[in-house]
């Protein structure tokens, strides 16, 4: 299904105008130094390669979609490279209009014509704050019951739950890249190898294929801790990822570092014929670790 078809299907299932936000690039230690940008997943579903800071109005009554993009300036062109003009963006996205997001509130006031607007909370708290002010709804990204109106969430979920051929093709491509990333770490896993080296091999495999990680690499020494949100640094210059503190004497006898397939959870065994099963067997073979009925033993 094309992006245009997705937007048309959403319009057919909305009862009132909806404003979606892509979210902006989040700052690190000062405003101009940002983390890599990834648009909110709902916005990403309806627009190809969306820009940071953009928004869109879905108007079911007018059957139109208006895209709001940051204004183009000479300073931005100097620092970041020239962006496509609004007219080019309108043609590429096949939307009804492209307007400046800096004047979003004024544009919405004219386009809504007194109608109530809906919106969804996003990870970017500034965008969510703006959505709250526009809709006067109590939106919060980290509280599932306050992300947005149920009708809107149901309409989008109905579209996104069923994957089309183009989505399945992309998933297959990323599965190949993910497998290569795991195998790169598996081949380099041996006693004495640092987790930071293996994490670098995983990230490098994604970068070489023009991909980025969906989440931070989860790498652990023995596999008993797979989801750790912080990084423990016990030795200067040595970053331990997903690892619990240990007695140094125990570390000397630790087995080779073996990255586990994400969410393996003991559900993949030696008889599993899925891609996850292939990966798990490859990991077991490379590390010399027995594979039992519940995965690694």
Cα distance from N-terminal residue to C-terminal residue, the chain: 44
Tokens of 274: 């899925």
CA–CA dist 27, 32 (Å, integer): 7
Q: Kindly state the DSSP code that residue 223 receives in the 8-state scheme.
A: S
Residue 202: is it exposed, middle or buried by C-beta count within 10 angstroms (0-12/13-18/19+)?
buried
Q: What is the pLDDT along the chain (297 residues), one digit of tens a residue?
A: 899 999 999 999 999 999 999 999 888 888 888 888 899 999 999 999 999 999 999 999 999 999 999 998 888 778 778 889 999 999 999 999 999 999 999 999 999 999 999 999 999 999 999 999 999 999 999 999 999 999 999 999 999 999 999 999 999 999 999 999 999 999 999 888 888 889 899 999 999 998 888 877 777 666 555 554 444 333 333 333 333 333 444 444 444 434 433 333 334 444 555 555 565 566 556 555 555 544 443
φ, ψ of residue 34 to 5 degrees: the values are -110, 160
Domain with CATH 3.40.350.10 in the chain: 3-160
Contact 257, 238 (CB under 8 A): no
CATH top-level class for 3-160? Answer: alpha beta
Of 294, 231, 214, 234, the C-alpha closest to 260 is 294
- What three-state secondary structure class fits 283? helix
């Amino acid at each position: 299904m094309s992006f245009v078809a997705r937007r048309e299907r959403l319009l057919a299932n909305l009862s009132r105008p909806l404003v979606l936000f892509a979210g902006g690039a989040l700052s690190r230690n000062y405003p101009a130094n940002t983390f890599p940008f990834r648009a909110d997943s709902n916005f990403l579903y309806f627009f190809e390669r969306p820009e940071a800071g953009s928004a869109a109005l879905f108007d079911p009554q007018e059957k139109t979609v208006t895209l709001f993009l940051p204004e183009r300036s000479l300073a931005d062109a100097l620092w970041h490279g020239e962006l496509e003009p609004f007219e080019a963006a309108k043609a590429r996205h096949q939307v009804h209009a492209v307007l400046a997001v800096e004047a979003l509130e004024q544009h919405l006031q004219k386009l809504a014509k007194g109608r109530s607007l809906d919106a969804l909370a996003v990870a970017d708290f500034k965008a969510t704050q703006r959505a709250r002010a526009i809709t006067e709804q109590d939106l919060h990204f980290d509280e599932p019951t306050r992300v947005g109106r149920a009708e809107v969430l149901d309409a989008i979920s109905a579209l996104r739950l069923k994957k089309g051929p183009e989505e399945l093709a992309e998933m297959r491509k990323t599965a190949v890249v993910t497998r290569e990333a795991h195998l790169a770490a598996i081949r380099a896993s041996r006693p004495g190898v640092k987790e930071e080296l293996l994490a670098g091999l995983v990230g490098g495999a994604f970068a070489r294929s023009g991909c980025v990680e969906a989440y931070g690499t989860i790498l652990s020494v023995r596999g008993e801790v797979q989801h750790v949100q912080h990084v423990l640094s016990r030795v200067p210059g040595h970053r331990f990822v997903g690892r619990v503190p240990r007695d140094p004497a125990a570390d000397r006898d630790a087995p080779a570092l073996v990255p586990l397939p994400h969410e393996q959870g003991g559900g993949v065994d030696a008889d599993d014929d899925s891609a996850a099963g292939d990966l798990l067997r490859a990991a077991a073979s490379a590390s010399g670790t027995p594979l039992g009925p519940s995965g690694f033993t």
